[in-house]
Structure 1
Amino acid sequence: MTKLDETLAMLKELTDAKGIPGNEREPREVMNKHIAPYADEVTTDGLGSLIAKKVGDANGPKVMVAGHLDEVGFMITQIDDKGFLRFQTVGGWWSQVMLAQRVTIVTRKGDLTGVIGSKPPHILSPEARKKPVEIKEMFIDIGASSRDEATEWGVRPGDMVVPYFEFTVMNNEKLLLAKAWDNRIGCAIAIDVLKQLKNEEHPNIVYGVGSVQEEVGLRGARTSAATIEPDIGFGVDVGIAGDTPGVSEKEAQSKMGKGPQIILYDASMVSHKGLRDLVTDTADELGIPYQFDAIAGGGTDAGSIHISHKGAPSLAITIATRYIHSHAAMLHRDDYENAVKLIVEVIKRLDRETVDRITLE
Structure 2
Amino acid sequence: MNDKDYAFLKELVETPSPSGYEQPAQRVLRRELAPVADSLETDMLGNLVAGIKGVGEQPLRVMLAGHCDEIGFMVRYIDDQGFLYFAPIGGVDPHLVPGQRVRVHGTAGAVPGVIGKKPIHLTEAKERETVAKFKHLYIDLGCRER
- Shorter-chain TM band: 0.7 to 0.9
1:88–1:4: structure 2 CA closer, same or farther, 3 Å change rule?
farther
Q: 2:86 is matched with which residue?
A: 87
Mapped to 2, the partners of 1:132 and 1:21 lie a distance apart of 24
* Structure 2 length-normalised TM: 0.79
Query: What are the superposed Cα offsets for residues 307-350 of structure 1, whole Å, 9 maximum, x if unpaired?
Result: xxxxxxxxxxxxxxxxxxxxxxxxxxxxxxxxxxxxxxxxxxxx
1:46 CA drift (Å): 4.0
Higher mean Cα deviation, 47-56 or 133-142?
Answer: 47-56
Q: Which amino acid aligns with 2:130?
A: K
1:146 CA drift (Å): 4.0
Mapped to 1, the partners of 2:50 and 2:101 lie a distance apart of 34
1:120 CA drift (Å): 2.7
2:116, 2:139 within 8 Å by CA — same for their partners in 1? yes
For the aligned residue pairs, the C-alpha RMSD in angstroms reads: 2.7
Mapped to 2, the partners of 1:50 and 1:14 lie a distance apart of 15
Q: 1:36 aligns with which of 34, 37, 40?
A: 34
Tell me which of the two structures has the higher relative contact order, counting C-alpha pairs closer than 8 angstroms and 6 or more residues apart.
1
* Structure 1 length-normalised TM: 0.35
Mapped to 2, the partners of 1:83 and 1:95 lie a distance apart of 22
1:70 CA drift (Å): 0.5
Query: SS of 1:28's equivalent?
Result: helix
1:11 CA drift (Å): 2.5
Q: 1:168 is matched with which residue?
A: none
Query: Number of residue pairs matched?
Result: 143
Mapped to 2, the partners of 1:139 and 1:119 lie a distance apart of 9
Mapped to 2, the partners of 1:4 and 1:102 lie a distance apart of 28
Q: Which amino acid aligns with 1:11?
A: L
Structure 1: runs of 5 or more not aligned = 148-361
Query: SS of 1:96's equivalent?
Result: coil
Q: Which amino acid aligns with 1:119?
A: K
1:42 CA drift (Å): 1.9
Mapped to 1, the partners of 2:123 and 2:54 lie a distance apart of 64
Q: 1:111 is matched with which residue?
A: 110
Identity, in percent, stands at 39
Query: SS of 1:14's equivalent?
Result: helix
Q: 1:281 is matched with which residue?
A: none
1:117–1:44: structure 2 CA closer, same or farther, 3 Å change rule?
same
Mapped to 1, the partners of 2:2 and 2:107 lie a distance apart of 31
2:103, 2:110 within 8 Å by CA — same for their partners in 1? yes
Query: SS of 2:50's equivalent?
Result: strand
Q: Which amino acid aligns with 1:42?
A: L
Q: Which amino acid aligns with 2:34?
A: A
Is it true that 1:100 corresponds to 2:109 in the alignment?
Answer: no
1:121 CA drift (Å): 2.4
Mapped to 1, the partners of 2:87 and 2:13 lie a distance apart of 22
Query: SS of 2:49's equivalent?
Result: strand
Structure 2: runs of 5 or more not aligned = none
Mapped to 2, the partners of 1:124 and 1:4 lie a distance apart of 49
